[in-house]
Structure 1
């Protein structure tokens, strides 16, 4: 059975939706969330990791600095995902996609192609994102969600090998707007498609040997 694994930011949805809308929503809520959920084991572990990775105790300062640099740091993604999940549930946030995306993923699904997501955003954030969209609840279309916690870094071949083991398939195609991610997937034996969208950060990137499209 063939699989299509999709990146989100810059591939399915505009980067600005993440770097502007979602980041602006999460930024002022990080400190209060940590205080309100001080006994939550997930938050406790995230705080421990933040202190270890940053080398200091200014947890919120470290989170804001990582966000400003758009660094894909796991404990930051964990906390963002929890905040976004609540934001989607409350109706504060609604996900939107490039116009070609929803018709494409529905067509794949109807044709029997199995679908999964691999994004640096946490699984909780991914599920909330696809559950609360302008096109309704899209979560039934996806069988698996992978992030940097349950798979690994997106620019390392080992992460794609780990995902392939879960999917139990050697027929996997990965769509992403980031050439380095495609390189890692190809090294793991996956088929790859570069998504070069006009106006996106990697819209003019050199995708090298990877087949390149401008829409799905």
Structure 2
């Protein structure tokens, strides 16, 4: 499914909606891996003890218990049956073991994500955690909003977790930039149908109105299958990309490369635009030059952010 790799700034111009992944796209993978997830592992037992009698935690425990029953019945590795006695200490210990098992397996099930989101809310509110965003994210959000773009988030983390990260970010409260949020309740991020459903919910005429930015190529191909425009984010710690992905999508190492004000973009450089047009008329030389440009950009150094 090879797609033409038009100039990234032109891709932004032609889209009415910007749909963003979080981890590896707006936010460092190391923040999620080294701060958010370890916090849950470290605190989940104490959190359940402290909040056991709250309605929210009762709902979390009930949902997790149903998930554990399904996992045990399916024979999933890391799942442990909950004690039949219902004694709080024993139930919490078993729930902690199952939460750790789900996290070890990188499960993205709703009950786990809900509990994590509630725990992170507490951590953010107490100042124990501050959401990371890259330096180049806020200027891009400001520009896209000024251009009238609608900006959405689609992440495997719960909507609540997404909002917490951007509300309590190291760049301040960024929630006002976003028109809405999607999580795995709309479907798995590697399934094309999930992106079709998002297009429908956004009331777009077609997927072509949406630009999706992600660091994972399975998500990129799924979104492209649904008709979306796709740009792949290459940041420190993101997974290596196959040649098929590099041949199919433009890559960026910074949102600044998506700027309409980029002096090197065909949008703002008439001379370069004419050269590119001439190249296209010479049988595809422009595409080869575009590929070389992409390779040069990928060699640039990654900005670390907050």
Unaligned runs of 5+ in 2: 1-14, 73-80, 83-93, 256-306
Unaligned runs of 5+ in 1: none
Structure-2 residue corresponding to 1:48: 65
Match of 2:220 among 182, 195, 200: 182
Match of 1:147 among 183, 186, 194: 183
TM-score, length-scaled by structure 1: 0.91
Alignment of structure 1 residues 78-93 onto 2, 5 Å: 78-93=114-129
Structure-2 residue corresponding to 1:25: 39
- 1:165 and 2:200 correspond: yes
Offset of residue 104 of structure 1: 1.0
Alignment of structure 1 residues 58-73 onto 2, 5 Å: 58-73=94-109
Structure-1 residue corresponding to 2:17: 3
TM-score, length-scaled by structure 2: 0.66
Structure-2 residue corresponding to 1:138: 174
Number of equivalent positions = 213
- Alignment root-mean-square deviation, CA: 1.7
Higher-helix-fraction structure: 2
Distance 1:125 1:185 in 2: 23
Contact kept, 8 Å, 1:2 with 1:113, in 2: the verdict is: yes
- 1:113 and 2:149 correspond: yes
Offset of residue 54 of structure 1: 2.6
Distance 2:95 2:193 in 1: 30
Per-residue CA deviations over 1:84-127 (Å, capped at 9, x if unaligned) read 11111121111121221111112111211110000000111111
Contact kept, 8 Å, 1:54 with 1:62, in 2: the verdict is: no
Greater mean alpha carbon deviation, residues 33-42 or residues 75-84: 33-42
